[in-house]
Amino acid sequence: MQAANYAPIYAACLYPELAESFRVKGWALAVHGSLARDFDLVAIPWHHEPVAPQRCVDGICHYHGLTQVGPAVTKLHGRQVFALALKFGECFLDLSFMPTERPNA
């Protein structure tokens, strides 16, 4: 049996409101990973002009009581990745934004 982890908090308490926050900003939010160490999320552009990733992060940090840990990092395939911490305990979100399509690119 595996040790208890934060998966119930991530899935039940955070995901529904985060997904709605992202939806109204033009992003679809998907969960990936085991949820054992942190909450891995991927934001996928779902509207022709989604809100900029940093602006999304600033908004959810303010509304949901999260703190951005360090600057965003660009990873493989142009993913922009943000590390976010909840203000209680050892809970973290690893939030990746897929790049948006550039017109005439």
* Structural domain contains residue 1: no
* Structural domain contains residue 71: yes
* Structural domain contains residue 34: yes
What pTM was estimated for this model as a whole? 0.84
pLDDT of the residue at 105: 47
* Structural domain contains residue 28: yes
Task: Indicate the number of domains in the chain.
Answer: 1
* Structural domain contains residue 8: no
> How far apart, in whole angstroms, are the C-alpha atoms of residue 41 and residue 35?
10
- Looking at the DSSP bridge assignments, the partners of residue 81 are 73, 96
* Structural domain contains residue 2: no
* Structural domain contains residue 103: no
> Which tens digits make up the pLDDT trace of 13-45?
788 889 999 999 999 999 887 776 778 899 999
* Structural domain contains residue 52: yes
Domain, as residue range, for 59: 20-97
> Which tens digits make up the pLDDT trace of 41-82?
999 999 989 999 999 999 999 988 889 999 999 999 999 999
Contacts of 13 (CB under 8 A, 6+ apart): none
